[in-house]
Amino acid sequence: MEYSYPLEPDWTTEEIIGAVKFFESVEKAYEKGIRRDELMDAYRRFKEIEPSKAGEKRIFNEFEEVSGYAPWPVIRQLKDAPDDRIIKGAGA
């Protein structure tokens, strides 16, 4: 698939890399599954980059619109999953 990730123009290079890693982690959850700790690390970094709930919601919605992958169900699983669980996106 080819699409552009929703990135903010004021993010630094390191922040862009962190955000892209998070988006790739969500994609991986949908496509083949991802270890909980790997997804947790990517999400924690994303929350450092975009700490506001409103910003997170807007970016998640933009990502879902361009990719078809909804981050919210994956994050809900992340918060409820035991430490060693593989997280899979809806329909995966």
Is residue 3 situated within a structural domain?
A: no
Examine residue 54 and state whether it is found in any structural domain, yes or no: yes
Asked, for residue 1, whether it belongs to a domain, the answer is no
Measured between alpha carbons, how far is 50 from 92 in angstroms, rounded to an integer? 27
Is there a contact between 60 and 5 (Cβ–Cβ < 8 Å)? no
Q: What is the pTM assigned to this prediction?
A: 0.89
pLDDT tens for each residue of the chain, 92 residues long: 689 999 999 999 999 999 999 999 999 999 999 999 999 999 999 999 999 999 999 999 999 999 999 999 999 998 887 777 777 876 54
Count of structural domains, the chain: 1
Q: Residue 87, SS3?
A: strand
Query: Does residue 36 sit within a domain?
Result: yes
Residue 18: domain span: 13-81
Q: What is the CATH number of the domain that holds 55?
A: 1.10.220.80
